[in-house]
Amino acid sequence: MRASLKDLENAVNQVKLLKKDPGNEVKLKLYALYKQATEGPCNMPKPGVFDLINKAKWEAWNALGSLPEETARQNYVDLVSSLSSSSESSSQVKPGADKEHAGYGTLVVTSEDGITKIMLNRPTRKNAISTQMYQEIILALKAASQDDSAITVLTGNGDFYCSGNDLTNVTDTPLGGIEEKAKNSTNLLRDFVASFIDFPKPLIAVVNGPAVGIAVTLLGLFDIVYASDRATFHTPFSHLGLSPEGCSSYTFPKIMGPTKATEMLTFGKKLTAREACAQGLVTEVFPDATFQKEVWTRLTAYAKLPSNVLRISKQVIRNREKEKLHSVNVEESSIIQGRFLSEESMNAVMNFLSKRAKL
Ligand SMILES: CCCCCC/C=C/C(=O)SCCNC(=O)CCNC(=O)[C@H](O)C(C)(C)COP(=O)(O)OP(=O)(O)OC[C@H]1O[C@@H](n2cnc3c(N)ncnc32)[C@H](O)[C@@H]1OP(=O)(O)O
């Protein structure tokens, strides 16, 4: 569901609980989005030049033009959610004063104690990966590969780790039509997966809840996967008319054997966290109640190890596979490009969009 009036009300209350003052610019943005969400486009006369505060408020609201009320409501809720995450009012955030990296709209990226944490931050969409999020993850991984952190963590905000590819990505078809859309998506997918293959330091998935599609397949490219016992692992590619990606056609048979891989990747069998652990996709499962505490305590200790040697060990373990993984990625991407254009895939996406199917 898009953000409801109740979500808006909850978000307004959440603002009052923020531990960190978000600053005037953000407060003006919140004011403007709230007015737009509740009253529609700016309907006040412009205040006089000396009424500085009301003039700034008017300008922020007026700048939203004819933004639909529903979109303003969603943007308000998303903005508050990102503020709550960064001000650490959420149990998802590890303790301490994180240094937050600015400039991301769909992620919260922080560095502290030798750990760079990339948190998917679209909780109202179950952290589905939008086109913007794909691009931002590529950028965040690039930055993390060059910063002075010892390890990098990917996790999700809210009750899901990630619901996979955002199925509404298909709706912004370019002028060149669906063929061009399929080509653009394929190129983005290939570059996105390549940024995981090439990541030079230990990359750890903190799977805080259910994971779907590409969020699952990528796990084969991580160095450690910790999961809450609430997490599930589901790759419904055939239901969507799609073929495996994220190098899973290579990593999954290696990790769990070809028959278990086929059950997951071809037949869409959903695994519990414990099953995924028994099959080697997950390193360790923790009770949800203590998940964050146990995992961050462990990772904070790991990140104290000398960072150069962590990088070298990762490369010794992974580098001989790199070339193979890149060629698998290229091959999988070219196969899925054809699938994007297939009737089976288009029907499945349309079914989802028209709410006829829930996977
Ligand atoms: C560059 C392109 C690369 C393409 C790579 C190939 C594809 C890879 C994949 O990842 S395939 C897998 C795609 N994901 C899915 O099929 C999941 C679809 N979602 C669901 O089945 C369910 O939403 C759920 C099981 C994830 C969660 O169910 P539930 O707990 O009941 O929550 P809601 O369904 O009410 O979800 C809340 C809200 O979020 C929207 N949403 C959730 N997931 C997605 C998604 N993947 N794409 C778009 N939107 C999503 C959901 O629709 C709800 O919004 P709404 O109420 O409809 O407004």
Predicted ipTM? Answer: 0.99
Tell me how far apart the alpha carbons of residues 321 and 330 are, in angstroms, rounded to a whole number: 14
Question: Strand 107-112 relative to strand 115-120: parallel, antiparallel, unpaired?
Answer: antiparallel
Q: Residue 158: left if φ>0, alpha if ψ -120 to 50, beta else—which one?
A: left
What residues form DSSP beta bridges with 129?
A: 165
E strand map for 43-112: 99-101, 107-112
Instruction: For residue 19, give the amino acid letter.
Output: K
Contact (CB, 8 A) for 179 and 334: no
Q: What is the per-residue pLDDT for 128?
A: 97
Of 330, 333, 331, 325, give the one whose Cα is nearest residue 196: 325
pLDDT digits (tens, 9 = 90+) for 71-126: 899 888 988 888 876 654 334 444 444 688 888 999 999 999 999 999 999 999 99
Q: What is the spatial order of strands in the sheet that 224-228 belongs to?
A: 99-101, 107-112, 115-120, 151-156, 203-207, 224-228, 284-286
DSSP type of residue 128: -
Q: Among 212, 240, 266, 342, name the best residue to mutate to test ligand 1's pocket (greatest count of ligand atoms within 8 A of Cβ).
A: 212
Atom 14 of ligand 1 has which residue's CA nearest to it? Answer: 164
CA triple 326-327-328, angle to 5 deg: 90
> What is the separation of C-alpha 83 from the centre of its chain, rounded to a whole number of angstroms?
16
Distance 315 CA to ligand 1 centre (A): 34
Q: Which residues contact 104 (CB under 8 A, 6 or more apart)?
A: 121, 136, 139, 140
pTM of the model: 0.78
| Percent of residues, the chain, with pLDDT higher than 70 | 95
Q: Among 74, 135, 163, 333, name the best residue to mutate to test ligand 1's pocket (greatest count of ligand atoms within 8 A of Cβ).
A: 163
Of 341, 345, 332, 329, give the one whose Cα is nearest residue 180: 341
Of 354, 326, 47, give the one whose Cα is nearest residue 190: 326
Distance 106 CA to ligand 1 centre (A): 16
Q: Residue 243 corresponds to which tokens in the numbers above?
A: 């073929």
Q: What is the per-residue pLDDT for 121?
A: 97
Measured from CB, residues less than 6 Å from any atom of ligand 1 are 1-2, 125-126, 128, 134, 163-168, 185, 188-189, 212-214, 236, 240, 242, 245, 358-359
Atom 40 of ligand 1 has which residue's CA nearest to it? Answer: 125
Q: Which residues of the chain have pLDDT under 50?
A: 88-97
Q: Residue 261 corresponds to which tokens in the numbers above?
A: 């891989």
Distance 77 CA to ligand 1 centre (A): 18
Tell me how far apart the alpha carbons of residues 88 and 72 are, in angstroms, rounded to a whole number: 24
Distance 199 CA to ligand 1 centre (A): 27
Atom 56 of ligand 1 has which residue's CA nearest to it? Answer: 1
Atom 24 of ligand 1 has which residue's CA nearest to it? Answer: 163
Question: Strand 203-207 relative to strand 151-156: parallel, antiparallel, unpaired?
Answer: parallel
Atom 31 of ligand 1 has which residue's CA nearest to it? Answer: 358
pLDDT digits (tens, 9 = 90+) for 193-221: 999 999 999 999 999 999 999 999 999 99
